[in-house]
Each structure stands twice: as C-alpha cells, then as structure tokens.
C-alpha cells in the first residue's frame, strides 16, 4: 500500500476537481481517502491510497486530466504553484519502503512526460539533482517566472521533458517522501505581516523548529490570515509544539487564533501525541487507549458507545 | 466482552497488589489491560477485560484475595474507601448491553457475600435502592463511619449480607456503568484549599460541568495537590473542557498546572476529541485519521513509521 497526494491548481471550480477525482477513483483498487479545496489558495489536495501499480496508474491519469482542464495562464491564488497538477508525492504506508515510492515516482514522471506532454521535476527522495531536494527550491519563481527562466538558464531545465514548460500546464513536481501533516492556523486579523512574521519564526529555514515548513497567507474570503505549515517529521516537531508557539507568537502581537485546520489526513500517533502534549499527560503511551490495547492483545477492536 | 475495573485499598505494598492481579490473570480468557498504584491515595486500580463469565470469575477471586490481604483498620490514604476491594464496576465493551453488566454485577455481588463473607452495596445501573445510584452517596462516612452507622440506622444496611460490615474488609460496592475516564490534574502548590475549590467549581454536584465528579487531594509525597476527576460521559463534558477550566481556575489563584494523568485507559474517541478541541481544529472527524479511514474502507490498518 502506498499513498499519493496530488495537489492540483484548481480550488474554485468543482466541476474540474470532480473530473480529476473521477479519473483517480475509476482505477480498480484505489481508495479515495480525502479531498479538500481552498478558494483562496485556488488549490485542491486529493489523498488516495492503494496497491503500488494502481496508485501509479491513477496518478498518471490525474496528471493528464489536470493538463487538459487547468490553464495556469488564467490561474490566480495565494499558494505558489508551477503546474496544473502542481505536486505529486508518493508516500509509503505500512511496511512499504520509501525506495519503492522513489521507483513509482520515477515511473510516474516518465509516463507523465510521454503521455501528457508535461515536463517533470523530481523532488525529495526522488530528486535527481542535489539542488532539487526541497519542493520550495524547485518551485521558486513559480509558473510565470520559471517558464521564462528555463530557456535562459540551463540549470533550470526539467528532469524529464522540456526544453520549455507546457504552455498552460507548466510542469509536474513528482516526489517520494515520508508522511507529511499539512496544518494551518488561521488568525483573527487581516494583517498579512502577522502571519508572515510567525511563519518565519517557526519554520526550519529561518531558524525555527526542525522539520517545519511555513508560509503566511491572506484569506481574503474569510477576512483572516493564515500560518500554513507542513510538518515533515512529527517526531522531531509535534503538532502541539507548533500550535503552542503560534498561539504565543500571535498573542505577543495582540492577535488571537481563530481556528486551525488539517489538510488531508493525520497519522493516529501524531494526533494522540498532540492530545497528550496539550493535556500535559505524564506517562502517556498509545497502550493507554483501550482500542489499541485490545488490538495489541489480539482481540478485535470494540466500538465503544 | 466486558471490562472490569476493581479499585483496591492498597497502593503501597506491591506484594499485595501483585497477588490480587495474579488471581485475576489466572482466569483463562482474561486480558490485563492496565494497572496503577498511587501511594498517596493508597489505592490501586486494575483494569481487565474478557468474556462475561471469565470476568465474573476473576472479579470474585479479586474480592476474596483483597479481603484476605488488606486490613482497613490499618489503612490510611487520601482517597475515600469503604472496602478492601472498594469498588467493582463492570463496563460494557463493543456491542454488549449495559443490562448484561447489571446482571454480572448482581451475580458477582451474590458470590462475594457467599464466598468471601464481605457485604455488598450495589450502585449506578446495578443499584437496588434509589439513594444508591451514586458511588459517593453509598461510600459516605467511609469504612470508619459506616461500620458504626449500619448497626444504628437500618437504611444504611448493605444490599447483600450484613447486618455488620466485615471487620477488616468492610464492604464491596459493586456496579455497572458506562466507560469512565479517570483524569487527575496536579497543581504546583501545597495548598489543599486550591484543589478543593477547583474540584468544587468543576463538578456536577456543586453546579459545575455535567457528568463530572471531582475531589481535591493533597499529594504529600510529591509536594503538590490534585484535582482528581471522573468523567462519566465525555460526550457531555470532554476532557479538554475540564482541562482548560482547571488551568484557568488555577491561574486565577496564581497556581500552575504541573501535569495531568490518566488512571487506567481512555477510549480513542475521547482522546481524539480532546486533541481536536485543544488544537482548535475546525471540521475534525475521526475519518481524518489515516488508520481509521483505511479501516473504514476495509483495509487492514497500516503501521506508519
């Protein structure tokens, strides 16, 4: 079993997102785990899982359908993006190795270039160039900037395809990585600088917590701003640690947290870790959860009423 | 499957508690889920589960062993208690009905009186008198008070056995109830009145939250005080609601929370509810947990690494 989390550059037109989801779920063996669309980001995140070959097939079909239906020359949204299907990570589940997902990523990239005609960059564990490990480095300049730069600067060339980007679908950034928690905290202020300052304070790249990526966004449709985070290793930096830091940093600026949101799914262990942390539970471990304890003792989990 | 949570009046002498646990786990089919001992309470809570008849047998053996090994005339601890085996609740798991546990409680009570010679009071869903629904009403006066009162006041007579309490083992309070979360919050102060005031503010009986029982205890061995709570219905009052209230009430008194602790086990749904509440997660539901989502979609749960 592996998971795949395509991020597509359409968060407003449901018809387009439905069509992409439909080609994914039409593949036998695919389980649609979650989907979410954000109008301010103008972006949708689709989470699905299944056996490796089924996930590969569904991912390629999603890339083809995205290129057919999304025109980046017309796209506006607060979230950075390079492609119609912008990011395509493969994630190991269960006992699957990360290297299996690297292989699937490379095969998916090859088929996307051959079958959709969209160039491909590889990132994280699937990266083929040292400077392309980090998604934000690959995506720097976004669609508008990079489509000019690729013809001027050879080091900007895609890993597969090119020499130019696709005129309307840009490029797909395909990768393999560990499970990532996408966690946003919305603040009761319209002052974007507050979100940007807090994002800068918590993210790894500017000296914050390890394994945290963060950006500050405006949410004009909600009159709020957002600290939008990816936690790439919740053992290094748990959910509650960034939550408490953001609450404190916002309070120092006289701003309250409105609410937080998970984009996609979260591992059970990460959520339990957050509960134990925020409740200040001493000596907590997952065996204190009755269903987990019973499962461990090889009984079927009961449903508690 | 049912659960049984004997509370025994020994929290310092491991040999005694080990002996009680041993008679429980010697019954085929019994799963020991958890055990915990508190020296200040001088009390241990043992949590086990299994098929109904096995749980009944193990509970009766625990009552016999407790009466043999614990002498309440020598017992001191901050937690109220009436018996050597003080409280014996049976709890339905899975699709088991509460009425099944009422039946098991009545059969266990009968055997405890016949085989251990210890009188029995029935409480909660197993109560046989209207004034005996609440554990705290049954236990009022504790061992020292009630053993005098039973001979003076006919309304204090046990439901089974008597007319006097057992001279060293007191009486067993046997019941059936829904799952209960035992949750303590320890405070950085030695001032017992702080814990007592906060307990009074949060408990149902003095106008606090619904489905909350609470007492304030000193923890002399730790130099702290404790708000010790039972949440009898976490849908009515979730864990995070009482946690946040205790933090706030303590802060108003200039006191900080040291840590909290779960006694025994917690249902998964209660812990996830607390995480979502404390993280201010909007739109959370258990299907956002990847293992739960995969289980629902009828795959086996993966272990995420």
Residue A290 to chain B, least CA–CA distance (Å): 5
DSSP state of A70: -
**Inter-chain contacts counted by CB atoms under 8 A, chains A and B:** 152
Distance from C-alpha of A224 to C-alpha of A184, rounded to nearest angstrom? 12
- Confirm or reject contact between A284 and chain B (CB < 8 A): yes
Rounded Cα distance between A33 and A59, Å, is: 14
Question: In chain A, whose CA is at the least distance from the CA of B269?
Answer: A304
Q: Does A288 touch chain B (CB under 8 A)?
A: yes
Tokens 């800068």 sit on residue? A200
- Give the single-character DSSP code of A301: P
- C-alpha A292/C-alpha B301 separation (Å) is 11
Buried b (16+ CB within 10 A) or exposed e, B92-122: bbeebebeebbebbbbbbebbbeebebbbbb
In 3D, which of B304, B299, B231 has the Cα closest to residue A50? B299
Q: Which residue on chain B is closest to A292 by alpha carbon? A: B268
Q: Which residues in chain B (206-245) have CB-CB distances under 8 A to chain A?
A: 239-240, 243
Q: What local confidence, expressed as pLDDT, does residue A298 receive?
A: 59
* B281–A268 CB contact, under 8 Å: no
Query: ω into residue B163 within 30 of 0, thus cis?
Result: yes
* Interacting residues of A181 by C-beta distance below 8 A, sequence separation 6+: A230, A231, A234, A239, A262, A266, A267, A270
CB of A227 closer than 8 Å to CB of A202: yes
Q: What is the pLDDT of residue A73?
A: 96
Name the nearest CA neighbour of A42 among A3, A65, A4, A72.
A72
Q: Sign of dihedral through CA atoms B235, B240, B243, B248?
A: negative
pLDDT in 10s for each residue of chain A, 305 residues:
899 999 999 999 999 999 999 999 999 999 999 899 999 999 999 999 999 999 999 999 999 999 999 999 999 998 999 999 999 999 998 778 999 999 999 999 999 999 999 999 999 999 999 999 999 999 999 999 999 999 999 999 999 998 999 999 999 999 999 889 999 999 999 999 999 999 999 999 999 999 999 999 999 999 999 999 999 989 899 999 999 999 999 999 999 999 999 988 899 989 999 999 999 999 999 999 988 888 888 544 455 44
Q: Does A279 touch chain B (CB under 8 A)?
A: yes
pLDDT in tens, B58-100: 999 999 999 999 999 999 999 999 999 999 999 998 778 999 9
Helix spans in A98-217 (H): 98-116, 135-138, 142-152, 192-202
Task: Report which secondary-structure segment, H or E, holds A62.
Answer: helix A52-69
Question: What DSSP element (H or E) covers A274?
Answer: helix A268-278
Q: Do A279 and B280 touch (CB under 8 A)?
A: no
CA A257 to chain B, closest CA, distance in angstroms equals 8
**For the segment B204-228, what is each residue's pLDDT rounded down to a tens digit?**
999 999 999 999 999 999 999 999 9
Residue B256's nearest CA partner among B197, B194, B214 is B194
Q: How many CB atoms lie within 10 A of CB B256?
A: 10
Round to whole Å and give the CA distance between A193 and A191: 5
CA-based nearest residue in chain A for residue B32: A297
Q: Is the pLDDT of residue B192 over 80?
A: yes
Catalytic residue among B41, B79, B166, B240: B79
Is there a contact between B281 and A260 if contact means CB atoms under 8 Å apart? yes
Structure tokens at B94: 């899975």
Mutate to test the interface with B, among A232, A264, A280, A300 (most CBs of B within 10 A): A280
Q: Determine the residue among A287, A289, A292, A300 to mutate to test chain B binding: the one whose Cβ has the most chain B Cβ atoms within 10 Å.
A: A289
SS3 A12: coil
- For A128, how many CA atoms within 13 A lie in the half-sphere containing its CB? 15
Q: Please, what is the angle between helix A98-116 and helix A52-69, to 10°?
A: 40
Cβ-based neighbour number of residue A117 at 10 Å: 12
Distance from CA of B298 to the nearest CA of A (A): 10
State pLDDT tens for residues B282-293: 999 999 998 888
Is residue A4 a contact partner of residue A60, using CB atoms and an 8 Å limit? no
Distance between CA atoms of residues B187 and B255, nearest Å: 7
The catalytic residues of A are: 79
Domains, chain B: 2-176 (3.30.990.10), 181-266 (3.30.70.670), 267-305 (no CATH)
Cβ(A109)–Cβ(A60) below 8 Å: no
CA distance B258 to B264: 20
From chain B, the residues in CB contact with A100 under 8 A are: none
pLDDT tens per residue across span B103-112:
999 999 999 9
Select the residue from B25, B256, B281, B285 to test the A interface by mutation, using most A Cβ atoms within 10 A. B281
* Whether A262 contacts chain B with CB within 8 A: yes
This prediction's pTM: 0.78
- Across the interface, of B49, B281, B302, the residue whose CB is closest to A1 is B302
């Amino acid at each position: 079993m592996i998971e795949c989390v395509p991020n597509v550059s359409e968060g407003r037109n449901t018809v387009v997102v439905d069509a992409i989801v439909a080609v994914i779920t039409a593949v036998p063996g695919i389980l649609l785990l979650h989907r979410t669309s954000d109008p301010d980001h103008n972006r949708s995140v689709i989470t699905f899982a299944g056996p490796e070959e089924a996930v590969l097939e569904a991912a390629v079909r999603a890339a083809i359908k995205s290129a057919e239906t999304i025109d980046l020359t017309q796209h506006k949204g607060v979230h950075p993006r390079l492609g119609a299907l912008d990011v395509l990570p493969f994630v190991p589940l269960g006992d699957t190795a990360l290297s299996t997902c690297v292989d699937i990523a490379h095969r998916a990239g090859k088929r996307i270039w051959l079958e959709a005609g969209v160039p491909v960059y590889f990132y994280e564990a699937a990266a083929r160039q040292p400077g392309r490990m980090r998604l934000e480095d690959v995506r720097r300049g976004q669609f508008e900037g990079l489509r000019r730069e690729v013809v001027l600067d050879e080091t900007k060339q895609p890993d597969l395809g090119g020499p130019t980007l696709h005129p309307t679908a840009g490029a797909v950034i395909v990768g393999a990585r560990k499970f990532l928690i996408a966690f946003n905290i919305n603040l009761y202020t319209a002052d974007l600088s507050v979100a940007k300052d807090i994002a800068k304070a918590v993210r790894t790249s500017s000296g914050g917590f390890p394994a945290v990526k963060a950006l500050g966004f405006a949410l004009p449709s909600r009159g709020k701003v957002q600290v939008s985070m990816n936690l790439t290793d919740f053992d290094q930096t748990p959910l509650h640690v960034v939550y408490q830091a953001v609450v404190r940093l916002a309070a120092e600026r006289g701003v309250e947290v409105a609410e937080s949101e998970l984009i996609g799914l979260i591992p059970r262990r990460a959520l339990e870790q957050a509960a134990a942390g925020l409740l200040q539970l001493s000596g907590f471990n997952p065996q204190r959860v009755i269903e987990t304890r019973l499962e461990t003792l090889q009984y079927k989990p009961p449903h508690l009423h």
